[in-house]
Amino acid sequence: MHSPEKKRNYSRKREAILKAVRSTTCHPTADWVYQTLKPKFPDLSLGTVYRNLTQLRKDGTIISIGNVNGQERYDGNIRPHTHFVCSYCYRVLDIPGDFVNKEQTKAEAERLGLEVDSCDLLLHGICDKCLQKLGK
């Protein structure tokens, strides 16, 4: 059984991890969260960050954008929205609005005998900053 002190620290760390993910629009990696929180929590381990991010994702408190350039990226904005991933700099951007009729897509999948839990759209291409650098 965990001591009350250990449990409280665990909860404080989880809350700090959640706050860090929600405080940015960069769609952070576990390493970003770790580097951000390490000065405040010197005993924080990368394993603790990974475990808590996994639990927060399972709880539906944050979402995973998926693997971008070898690292899972997270988002504290759990409202439905589209993401764009730059193929050059790997920046992840939020794009407001609906590009896909999610109810129609879900209905079509169910017509095929599939049960849909969620519907996400992830766009890939070149961001505005990289297009400028490329002179396009």
* CATH 1.10.10.10 domain span(s) along the chain: 1-77
> Which of the 8 DSSP states describes residue 25?
S
Q: Which residues are CB-neighbours of 123 under 8 A, at least 6 positions away?
A: 82, 83, 84, 85, 95
pLDDT tens digit sequence for 81-134: 899 999 999 999 999 877 778 788 888 999 999 998 877 889 999 999 999 999
* CATH 3.30.1490.190 domain span(s) along the chain: 79-136
Q: Helical H runs in the chain?
A: 4-22, 30-37, 46-59, 102-111, 128-133
Q: How confident is the model at residue 8 (pLDDT cuts 50, 70, 90)?
A: low
pLDDT tens digit sequence for 40-76: 999 999 999 999 999 999 999 999 999 999 999 999 9
Angle of the 30-37 helix axis to the 46-59 helix axis, nearest 10? 120
Q: Which CATH number fits domain 79-136: 2.40.420.20, 3.30.1490.190, 3.40.50.1780, 3.40.50.300?
A: 3.30.1490.190
Using a cut of 0.75, tell me whether the model's pTM lies above it. yes
- Cα gap 60→43, rounded to integer Å: 26
The 3-state DSSP class for residue 110 equals: helix
Q: Which CATH number fits domain 1-77: 3.40.50.1100, 3.40.50.2300, 3.90.1150.10, 1.10.10.10?
A: 1.10.10.10
CB 88 within 8 A of CB 127: yes
- Cα gap 116→34, rounded to integer Å: 33
